[in-house]
């Protein structure tokens, strides 16, 4: 076989290897895209809290003070004895600070509780709650702002735990 024949064979091999490499790269990119799009990150969730968005948090403080502080407290402290039912059989408003259980719930549930009220959000038929539904009172953006302000008040370790909870709930 002459020089020309060897180059032709070598050229075909290198073109085949290049085509194979491109196909592998496209396959890997497609797999990455499918995996990423099938499991949204917490930050891509429609009601993901944004405690680092200063404009949203400032709006959230105003919304919280106007609509939430009367029950949950201006310092997020909640009502006294919030774990014990009152004479009416209802639980007092819980704190939203690190001592409460707010950060034990993923963003989406917090949003639904605020918008729809506890009974509808948790689909509890016979549960009595003093928590009003803010649907029709506050916009989705205002609810998100108030919840983002609450999260912005938590210590870094509580925020990190809440982020982990959101990550885990988005994988379900």
pLDDT of residue 79: 95
pLDDT of residue 20: 59
Can you give the pLDDT of all 172 residues of the chain as single tens digits?
A: 555 555 555 556 667 666 655 555 555 555 544 444 444 444 456 789 999 999 999 999 999 999 999 999 999 999 999 999 999 999 999 999 999 989 999 999 999 999 998 888 888 888 888 999 999 999 999 999 999 999 999 999 999 999 999 888 887 6
Cα torsion for 102, 107, 111, 116, to the nearest 10°? -80
pLDDT of residue 122: 80
From residue 10, alpha-carbon distances to 4, 6, 38, 98 in Å are: 10, 6, 42, 68
Does the global pTM surpass 0.95? Answer: no
Distance CA 150, CA 6 (A): 72
């Amino acid at each position: 076989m002459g020089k020309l024949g060897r180059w032709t064979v070598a050229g075909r091999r290198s073109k085949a290897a290049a085509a194979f490499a491109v196909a592998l790269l496209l396959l890997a990119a497609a797999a990455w895209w499918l995996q990423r799009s099938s499991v949204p990150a917490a930050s891509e969730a429609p009601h993901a809290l944004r405690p680092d968005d200063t404009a949203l948090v400032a709006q959230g403080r105003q919304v919280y003070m106007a609509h939430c502080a009367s029950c949950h407290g201006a310092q997020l402290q909640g009502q006294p004895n919030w774990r014990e039912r009152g004479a009416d059989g209802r639980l007092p408003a819980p704190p939203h600070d690190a001592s409460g259980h707010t950060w034990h719930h993923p963003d989406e549930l917090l949003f639904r509780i605020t918008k729809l009220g506890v009974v509808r959000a948790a689909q509890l038929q016979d549960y009595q709650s003093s928590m009003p539904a803010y649907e029709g009172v506050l916009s989705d953006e205002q609810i998100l702002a108030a919840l983002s302000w609450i999260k912005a008040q938590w210590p870094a370790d509580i925020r990190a735990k809440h982020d982990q909870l959101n990550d885990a709930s988005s994988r379900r």
